[in-house]
Structures are given as structure tokens and as C-alpha cells.
Amino acid sequence: MSSQRDVVIVDGVRTPFVKAGSQFKDIHAADLGKDALKELIARTNLDVKLIDEVIIGNTGTPADAVNISRVIALNSGVPKEVSAYSVHRNCASALESIADGFDKIRSGTVDVVIAGGSESMSNMPLLFSKEFTDVFAKVMSAKSFPEKLQLLSQLKLAYLKPVISIVVGLTDPFCGLNMGQTAEILAREFEISREEQDKFALGSHRKAVAAMEKGLLAQEITPVFLPPKYENIIKDDIGPRKDQSMEMLAKLKPYFDKKYGSITVGNACPLTDGAAMVLMMSRERAQSIGYKPLGTMRSYAFAGIEPERMGLGPALATPLALKRAGLKLKDMGLVELNEAFAAQVIACEKAFSSKKFSKDRLNSEEATGDLNPEILNVNGGAVALGHPVGATGTRLVLTLLKEMNRRNVQFGLATLCIGGGQGGAIVVERES
Amino acid sequence: MEPSLSKENLSIITRITPNGEAIRLTAQGEIVWVEFDMPGEKANKLASPVLARLHEIIGELSKSAFKAVILISRKSSIFIAGADIEEIKGLKTPEDAQEACQLGQSIFNELENLQIPTIAAIHGACLGGGCEMVLACDYRIGTDDPATKIGLPEVNLGVIPGFGGTQRLPRLIGVQAALDIILAGKSVVGKKALSIGLIDKCVPKELLEQQALHLAQEVIKAGSKKRNKRFQSKGLGGMFLEGPLGRPIVFSQAKKMLMSKTMGHYPAPLKALEVVRKTYGSRLEKGLAIEAKGFGEVAATSVSKNLIGLFFMTEAVKKQTGVTGDVTPLDVKSCGVLGAGTMGGGIAQLAAEKEISVRLKDVNFEAIGKGLKAAIDIFGKSVKRKKMTKYEFKRKMSLISGGTNYAGFKNLDVVVEAIVEDINIKKKVLAELETQTREDAIIASNTSSLSINEMAKAMARPENFVGMHFFNPVNKMPLIEVIRGEKTSDRAAATIYALSKRMGKTPIVVKDGPGFLVNRLLMPYLNEACFTLGDGASIEFIDKTLLKFGMPMGPLHLIDEIGIDVAAKVAKILGHDLGERAAAAPLMSKVVDAKKFGKKNGTGFYFYDKSGKKLNVDHEIYKITELAKPKDPFTEEEIIFRLMFPMVNEAALCLEGGIVSTPEAVDLGMIMGTGFPPFRGGILRWADSIGVSKIVDELEMMAAKFGARFKPSAPIRSMAKTERKFYR
């Protein structure tokens, strides 16, 4: 039943994912995005004149590249005539970009979209306090030197304490909890033990290490050259630990709730830098060029939940996306569920299986379905690989599609939780 | 009788400037526009008829009642490019040249003495005579556009400014700033011109007319007075150096700098300095007379003729397509480079510099990283010198990407192969490459020594294959040899010829053959330097002699730069292909055996420090090569003949064999590819100046004395017999 207006994903490329503050700390998010996009254009031998729209997710919004999509597009050789805009849906920004592309292509508005995301969590700035900014603004507009001096004398040392934007950004402005604290709520409510979480985290590392050693992840990665000498080249994700063990994980202290908590830096995803891009097209355009796409996009969905339980977002978005695709969870041959926190993934699994959850939250008598752990995050997830918030959505879709093609799986699901209390999900079908 | 300003008056002036004149007048109330617009030309030049026309116009204006004059160009990006160089070339005697100068001077004096205030509104190149003309105006407004360049490039053509430039420029901007421009033949952009006081205002180009008009109105309001702007030095240091006590220091420093830069080979900048030194502070008429005399002296020299000849050769390249047929070269937007080594990295940098996107391919990412680093280093220097903004830097670097496979190659218009110089590897890679590119893509090899025809045998589309020989270092060396194989199509050759020009290089088209042109000529020269060393000359004396001749570095130093091992390898290949006359000097392989490779490992004919700086002669060379202490039995002339005449002989063979088709190509190749002294006009111009017969005689004598390799070839012997020159 394929249609000419089907939306296909031709191919995708991402950079390695690297823990924030390490190897990529001197690379701008726009440059990470450029590295991925240039390679995508190269691998697909894409005639850049055909691109209709470039949609890039990003949450940090670098002050010198506020519409980062345009910066990435131009530096990647996308013609200046081509439109480009950035999208922000927190952790799902790079799923939002794909969803946007889907709607634009499906509606017949455009045929060729670059969608993706890029994030440098290393480069989230320190901000001056409001008090400092106020005084400084007055000083700038003061007319005489004595007046300036008088204003400057109002400065207090305490005003110089910076606001750490990444900390603020990871704190929910509605409920006042930070992301880790929301995961603690889920761990308590779904009775998920520390050991259960650590075991999941260990599994993530093991799967990621295995995938890396088999060279599976390298298939979606383009190396990044490190300035200024370009001698050091990052070719793989640096997160996965070969030597990760339950003992090492057990040693870590709870990070967010030091007294009663169970979330540690070991069973949560690290702050990460990275970028991912995909090339989307209408089926007719892809066919006319002669591409063999990775897959067709069947549906997507976003749904909301109370911010303090944001980690459950996938449990709400997934059934909606499945419904829109006319499919069930059991039809899925592979699932990528983003690992913001191990606790949150396990909570979602439990919610999928729970009739009560379905009844309370989805107004449905049936549970969404049991999620087979054998098909979940088969090449590891964000706990091992990392989670550059503005790029992960695209990474999930890319990793999923590549694996679906390796395994000859027909349907796949990628879903993730979103800070602020949302979930996003996308259903794709392999091209046969 | 002073005619009054009336409508009739204005219409008379408008009527006497029919279309088709190089200078038009357009009246606008009390203001008159003098518009330069040579019919049928891209540029405005101050050719004699134009000067005559200017004279006529000044005469008309002097009788008019206009209250302000604005001089402007109606060309899109050129104000006045300068004098007519053909005319300078035609000046045979110092007297002719002096007279031509005086004529121009007198017209610019008329302009200066015109009782109506004059405003030059400058956009685009304002050089040489154009610059001298605006110096004779009362006010100058320039645009901030990069196309606007104001300066005096005369010394580049072996002459000096002759229409008052040596007089009016120092008066306007001071001796130091003026010498900076005159001696180096430099031009400055609008902003710089403003900061040194060369112009009064620097405005956006869209506002040039408006601002000129505005200034004219102000001048009129202030009573339409003439202006006599003179330089005022700033600061104590400036005042001292510009004053009568400090000035001699400025002059002597400038002379020292010129001598060390030109080794005294270029008389024009020295003459310009002398003129400024003698005339600064004296009356204008006296100064102009000395300037004209000085111009006469240098304009008639062979140096000037040779430099002008070179100028026309490079101008001709700009107009040529590199082929005789009428083909449209491929519009190159993207370029691939195979091999990210020194050459590959350099080529990638150069392409990115010219806004061509580049895909580098090498066997591993580390190699690509090196290529990227090479590019970043070159761009980084431009940023440091403020020749490039950080935004341009980022943009250009973003044009280069790389991989270990052929990803993206289907999109490339041109791919340049710069991998290891091994014929079998090249053939294999080229055959593979061809299956990865578009069918219409041009594939070029940057080989320096391997046969294009041989490589083409491995290819399914040899018509799209051509040689593109860059010289090292790519960003600095101005020559590219475009090498045509037997099957190379016009389209392929024309594409690479055009691409070379776009990369800012001078291409010459060369037929495939051993060493192509430049290396084939250079090898006997380098080889002979080694033979000469073997015959008892010292390393220092050989190199010094050739430096004095005007080569940018001595031949033995050059071998060190190339790498003695590489030079020996090339010599061997050429010896094999060309036979006895090109057999490698045995001395070279002895040096290689002793692991002295030159600059790259710190020891060769000279020692080198870690940064690659040349140190003293490595005296071990004599021991290794079993030579006695050098006694230097040869005169400088003997050494020059020994090293140069075999090149001339080889060039005659190249012309005869159709490697290149004109003596110009040989001379361009040697000047741009080896730094053969431009003031000598090229190896063949120089040969003609000595005389082919004499060269043949000398070759015969040297053949008897040093060996058969000197035997003059058939074509050069026949030239001598028929008393033919290389240039007819």
C-alpha cells in the first residue's frame, strides 16, 4: 500500500557521542551539526539544490547561532536559497524536526527535508545573575563617569555568582524539580530498586560495547576531527564502558536524593555533545533519484503528562503513535526507548504492561502491551552512549532503522521522554 | 571673456560630448560631471587619445562658469586602471619616454591649476596614471568596496610613476607612506587610503555619487575655492622622520631594504627612491622635470621591457582558454582530492580559498586530519595577518571535508589525484576512481613525473583525464602545468585551465612527455650544479652565483628543498627517458647514500635547524663525494653558462617536440615555476639577448671540455645556422 506521498528516510549520519566537557568541549554545536550533515550529503551524493527545508533540533540555543539550523545548513553547503529553521522540544527536539519534516512532505508541501539535531552541552553558558545584569545595564546607559562609578558601587560580590544555565535548564520551571528528581518519583512509585536500575545500566553498556566492537555503530557515525591540530580524531562514542560492573555501579552514591534516592550517575545518562542528521523525502522523489531508503515513516505522536513524571512520556506517546500507524506494540520488531534514566525506562515498561495505567491515563481497557526486553535498545542506549538532548531523537530513529535493516525487521518504534512532561514516539517501517 | 552660467552654456558643453568619447561631460546645475567611459573597453585607460581628450575638456571647463567638477568612472569596477601599457612598451629611447611623461604631467598640471575645485569620486581600480590624476584633484572620495584600490604599481613594470606621482603623493601623505606605496608598487583599499590621508572620505559605493555631489555643494557654498592640502605629520616620531633631520634616515633605510630585496636587479624602485629623495620639498616644476628624466632612464631599459613582456604574457593567459577549439569548460563547484598529503592538503586549501567545496579522500582519517591541518595553518596565518575574518575562516574551512571512501564523489565536478608517485598504484586508483565519479567529471593527476598517456591506458574515459601539475608549496607557487595526454579532450584541458586560473594560478598547456616542461628544463640545471660541484666549485660559490644572476635560491639549496632523494629519483627517470644528455650526476646518489636528504632531515648540501631554516654548508659533502677541498676554478660567467645553456638547449627540444607551442609558455613556466628572474624576461628572452649562435658555440666548447651532454641539439643548431631567435 505504498503511496507516492509516503515519507521515506533515505539515510542518516551522526557524530560520535561524547561526554560533555571532554573531547568536544571546544567544538560549537553548529560545527558538530555541520560534520554530520556534510557527511550525510556526501554519503547520499545528494544534489543539495533539491533540499527544500532544513529542520534542526537544539535546546542550548547558542547565543552566536540562535537559528542554528541556518548556520549548519550554510556551512554544510546547502544553498543559501534553501529555508532552514530550528526546533525546540527539549529532549525530543530532534524528533520534532523529523515530525515536522514528515508533515511537510506528507502534505505535499515539500519533497526533500534534512532533519536532525545538534547539541553541545559542554557549551551551555554561565549567565550573570539578574541583579548583576540590572546594574550593568544601568552602567552602560549612564552618561557621566561619576554616575557610572556610583552605580558600580551598588554591585555586591554575591551578584557575581553565575547562573549555570545547564542546571537551570534541567530543572523544571513548573514543578521545580530537576530531571533526576522526577526519575526518583518514578523509581519510588513503580517500586524500582537500585539494583534493578544498575542491572539495566550494565546491560546498556554491555550492548553498546558489543555493538561498537562489531562495528555496528560505526556504520552510522562520521569521525570528528579535534581542533586545533586535527591529529586526534574521535571515531566512536566514548561512553560505553567495557569494564562496567555491578560492583562499580553499586559504589556510586545517589546523586539527586542523597538520603533515600536510587538514581546515580551510573544509572542515568551523562551530559553529552553530539549531532545526528537524516535525509527525508517523499517516496516519489526518492524513487526518481534512485535511492533505496532505510525506511518509511508511518506515524508519530507527542503527548503530555505532569512534569514531575516526565519520564513516563513514552508510555503516553507510544500508544498514540501506534494507533496512528494502525499497529500494536507486538508488531514492533525493534524498539528504541531513550534511556534518560534507567528507572524511567523500567517505569515505562511497567506502564506499557499495566491495564490500570491504560485505564487511568489512556482511557483504554487494554494495556499497551508487554515490551520484549530482547528487542529493546539492542545496541545500548543513552545510559552508555549519552544523551545530547537536542540530537537524541534523530539518533534513536537512525540507530533503529540501521538495525532494522540489519535484522530484516518490518516495524520499529523510537520513543523518548521529554523534560517538562511530554513523550514523543515515531513508528517506522523498513523498506522491503 | 568669461561666459556666464546659463542654460545655453550648459547645453553647449553637453553637446560637445557625443557618445563614443572616452570622457563625457554632464552638467548638473553649477556642477559638472567628468565621466570616464572608454567605449568598447572593460577598463578605462589613460591612453594618449584619452589624455588629449582630457586636455580638451580642461580647456573647455576653464572657460565655463561651473563651480565644481566631479571626476567619476562609468565602468562597474574600474576607475582608471592606469596608463596604456602598450604605449610604455613602445617607448624606445629615454628621450621618447621623458617626453611622454612631460605631456601627461602638463595635462595633470592643467587639471590641478583649473580654477574650479575638482573632486575625484573613486570606485574600483585607480592605479598608476589614474592615481596620479586624482592626486591632481582638490578632493578625493573613495568607496569602501574591495574593488577600490588606489596606488602606484609602476615599479612592477620596471618604470616609475611619471605623471607627478613621485611629487604629489609624498606631498599629500608624507614621505614614509608614499615610499611604502611607490617602492613596492602597492595599492591600498578605501579604508586604508582614508587612514593615510590619500582620500578625504570613504563611503559605501551606492552612496558615492550622492556624497560627491554633497561635497561639491559644500565646496560651492564655501565659495568654490581651490584647496592645497599638504601632509601634516602626527606625533613626535612622525614629525622627526618626516622632517629634514629624519628624512635621510628614512631614505637610507628604504634603500637598504630595496637592495636586500632586489639585489640591485631592479632599477625602477631605486630610481623612484632617488627621485623622491632629490625632489621632496622642492618646487613642483623642478620635481616633475626630475621625475620625467628618471622615468625616461628606466622606461628604456631591458628590465622594464621584460617586465612589461611578462605582464602581457600573464594578461594573455587571462584571455586564453588553453585550447584552440571552442568548448565550454565545466563550471567547477566542487572538487575531490585523492591523497591528503602535502600536495593534496595544499590543493584542498587553495580550492576552499576560492570557494570551491572539497572532498578529501585518503586511506585513513589521520592522513585526512593532516590535510585539514595544512589548510587550517595557511588560513590561520591569513586570520593572524587580518587578511581574513574569523567568519571567512570558518566558512572556508567548512568547505573541506574528508573520508576514507568515495562518499560524495558522484557530486564532484573535478577530482585531482595527488597520491604516491607510483605508476602502478596510480593506474589502479584512477581506474577505480573513474567508476565512482560522474561520467562527465574531469579527473586530473597532480603527477610531477609520470606519464599522463600511460596512466590514461588504465582508464575507460581517457578523454576526461588530464594532468594538473601544481608546484610545492601549492599556496605560494603561481604555476600550474596543464598536461594534455594524447586522448585528453579539449573540454578536459579547458576545464582544468579555467580552474587553474580561478585558483589564482597561471596555467600553461604542456604536452605529455618526461618531466613535462618545468622539471625537464630544471633537471639539467640542477644536475649540472652537481657536476660543477664535482669539478671543484664550492657549494657557496655555485649558489651565490645563481643568486646573483637573480634566481630566488641557489640550485644546491633548491635540491635540498626538493629533497636530494627526490631529485635523484627524478634525475634518474629523466635520464632514462631522455638519454645521455640527462644522465644523473653520480654525486647525487652518493649524497643520498649518506642519508643526507636535504631540508627534510636537517642535512644536505646545507644544515637546517628544526624550523627548516638554512644554516651553514655541510662540509661533509666533500668527504662523502670524495672531493678535494673546493678550489673554485670557474668564473661566475662559466658557472652561469654551464647551468643555464643546457636549459636553453632542452627548451629548444621542447619547442621542436611540441611539449609547448610558444617561447612565451617556456618563459612563463620558468618564471612562475622556478622563479627564473622576471627582470630577464624568461630563459628564452634571456637566451635571445645573448644570441643563439653564441649559446651554440659555448655548448660546443663545453661539450668538448665537460662531456657530450652539452652537445647542442639539432633544433638549436639549425636556429643558430639560420640566425633565428626564439622570439620572432
The DSSP secondary structure of A3-18, one letter per residue, reads -TT-EEEEEEEEPPPE
CA pair distance A210, A217, nearest whole angstrom: 10
Nearest-CA residue of chain B relative to A221? B403
Residue A160 sits at φ, ψ, to 5 deg, of -80, -10
Exposure class string for B351-361: b at 16+ Cβ within 10 A, else e: bbbeebbbbbb
pLDDT band for position B229 (cuts 50, 70, 90): confident
Model confidence, pTM: 0.92
A-facing residues of B in 376-435 (CB < 8 A) are: 376, 394-395, 398-399, 401, 403, 407-411
Catalytic residue among B55, B469, B557, B576: B469
Cβ-contact B414, B332 below 8 angstroms: yes
Q: What is the per-residue pLDDT for B13?
A: 47
Q: Is A300 left (phi over 0), alpha (psi -120 to 50) or beta?
A: beta
User: Side chain identity at B22, as an amino acid letter?
Assistant: A
Q: What is the per-residue pLDDT for B28?
A: 94
CA pair distance B108, A152, nearest whole angstrom: 60
Q: What is the mean pLDDT of the segment spanning B601-608?
A: 94
Nearest-CA residue of chain A relative to B411? A45
Nearest-CA residue of chain B relative to A36? B401
List all residues 6 or more positions away from A268 whose beta carbon is below 8 Å from its beta carbon: A180, A183, A255, A340, A341, A342, A383
Smallest Cα distance from B420 to chain A, Å: 21
Span B436-447, pLDDT tens digits: 999 999 999 999
From first CA to last CA, the distance across chain A in angstroms is: 12
Smallest Cα distance from A225 to chain B, Å: 7
User: Which among B357, B395, B398 is the top mutation candidate for probing chain A, defined by the most A β-carbons within 10 Å of its own β-carbon?
Assistant: B398
Chain A residues within 8 A of B399 when measuring between CB atoms = 77
Best CA proximity match to B44, nearest among B90, B84, B71: B84
CB contact under 8 A, B407 and A229: no
Q: What is the mean pLDDT of the segment spanning B619-648?
A: 93
Chain B residues within 8 A of A35 when measuring between CB atoms = 401
CB contact under 8 A, A47 and B368: no
The residue ranking higher by pLDDT, A93 or B20, is A93
Strand residues in A187-326 grouped as ranges (E): 224-225, 233-234, 272-282, 295-304
CA pair distance A339, A383, nearest whole angstrom: 6
Q: What is the mean pLDDT of the segment spanning B480-497?
A: 98
Exposure class string for B688-697: b at 16+ Cβ within 10 A, else e: beeebeebbe
User: Side chain identity at B227, as an amino acid letter?
Assistant: R
pLDDT band for position B1 (cuts 50, 70, 90): very low
CB contact under 8 A, A230 and B373: yes
Identity of the residue in B365, B370, B408 whose CB atom sits nearest the CB atom of A45: B408
Indicate the angle between helix axes B284-299 and B165-173, nearest 10 degrees: 130
* B255 touches A: beta carbon within 8 Å: no
Chain B residues within 8 A of A41 when measuring between CB atoms = 408, 411
User: Which among A10, A34, A45, A222 is the top mutation candidate for probing chain B, defined by the most B β-carbons within 10 Å of its own β-carbon?
Assistant: A45
Identity of the residue in B365, B376, B394 whose CB atom sits nearest the CB atom of A233: B365
Residue B4 has pLDDT above 80, yes or no: no
CA pair distance B716, B710, nearest whole angstrom: 12
Domains and CATH numbers, chain B: 7-299 (3.90.226.10), 334-512 (3.40.50.720), 519-721 (1.10.1040.50)
Catalytic residue status for A175? no
CA pair distance B559, B530, nearest whole angstrom: 10
* B723 touches A: beta carbon within 8 Å: no
CA pair distance B383, B116, nearest whole angstrom: 45
A-facing residues of B in 331-360 (CB < 8 A) are: 357, 359
Q: What is the per-residue pLDDT for B16?
A: 46
User: Which among B349, B379, B395, B411 is the top mutation candidate for probing chain A, defined by the most A β-carbons within 10 Å of its own β-carbon?
Assistant: B411
Cβ-contact B547, B595 below 8 angstroms: no
Span B581-590, pLDDT tens digits: 888 899 999 9
CB contact under 8 A, B401 and A233: no
Residues of chain A with pLDDT under 70: 1
Span B270-325, pLDDT tens digits: 999 999 999 998 999 999 999 999 999 999 999 999 999 999 999 999 999 999 98
Span B90-139, pLDDT tens digits: 999 999 999 999 999 999 999 999 999 999 999 999 999 999 999 999 99
Identity of the residue in B369, B408, B409 whose CB atom sits nearest the CB atom of A225: B369
Q: What is the per-residue pLDDT for B665?
A: 96
Which neighbouring-strand residues pair with B467? B445, B483
CB contact under 8 A, A227 and B376: yes
Chain B residues within 8 A of A74 when measuring between CB atoms = 395
Span B166-203, pLDDT tens digits: 999 999 999 999 999 999 999 999 999 999 999 999 99
Sign of the C-alpha dihedral computed for residues B533, B536, B539 and B542 taken in this order: negative
Strand residues in A333-386 grouped as ranges (E): 334-337
- Three-state secondary structure string covering B155-192: HHHCCCCCCCHHHHHHHHHCHHHHHHHHHHCCEEEHHH
Span B561-576, pLDDT tens digits: 999 999 998 898 899 9
Number of CB atoms found within 10 A of residue B339's CB: 23
Strands in B357-361's sheet, in edge-to-edge order, are: B400-403, B357-361, B334-338, B414-417, B442-445, B465-470, B479-484, B506-511
Q: Is the peptide bond before B663 cis (omega within 30 degrees of 0)?
A: no
Residue B9 has pLDDT above 70, yes or no: no
The residue ranking higher by pLDDT, B398 or A167, is B398
Cβ-contact B32, B11 below 8 angstroms: no
pLDDT band for position B430 (cuts 50, 70, 90): very high
Sign of the C-alpha dihedral computed for residues B182, B188, B192 and B193 taken in this order: positive
Sign of the C-alpha dihedral computed for residues A250, A254, A258 and A261 taken in this order: negative
Cβ-contact A51, A112 below 8 angstroms: yes
Q: What is the per-residue pLDDT for B15?
A: 43
User: Which among A27, A38, A64, A72 is the top mutation candidate for probing chain B, defined by the most B β-carbons within 10 Å of its own β-carbon?
Assistant: A38
- Three-state secondary structure string covering B502-531: HCCCEEEEEECCCCCCHHHHHHHHHHHHHH
Span A61-93, pLDDT tens digits: 999 999 999 999 999 999 999 999 999 999 999
